[in-house]
Amino acid sequence: MAEQSADVRTLVEQIARSLVDEPGQVSVEQIEEGPETVLELAVAQKDLGKVIGRSGRTARALRALVNAAGTKLQKRYELEILE
């Protein structure tokens, strides 16, 4: 099951790298909190707006993808974007 969680982490990381100007600054930490896995996305300060998007649309879309992947894997995921 840890392998599948790594796939979701990799998915978030690849999408975030394609959105930002500094892809080398993108990192995703995976934290297991009981039945839920928290993915903490960190990007360069100047790229934060690109990951969040207008009115949070991009962030909502990323969270929807994470939730869809979690539903398929029968596991709960939460995406946190770190400032």
Instruction: Check residue 1 and give its pLDDT.
Output: 54
pLDDT in tens, 62-80: 999 999 999 998 999 999 9
The yes-or-no verdict on residue 53 having pLDDT over 70 is yes
Give the whole-number percent of the chain exceeding pLDDT 70. 94
The yes-or-no verdict on residue 19 having pLDDT over 80 is yes
Instruction: For strands 36-42 and 76-82, give the pairing.
Output: parallel
User: What Cα–Cα distance (Å) separates residue 47 from each residue in 3, 25, 32, 35?
Assistant: 29, 9, 26, 31
- Is 2-82 CATH 3.30.420.40? no
Q: Where are the domains positioned within the chain?
A: 2-82
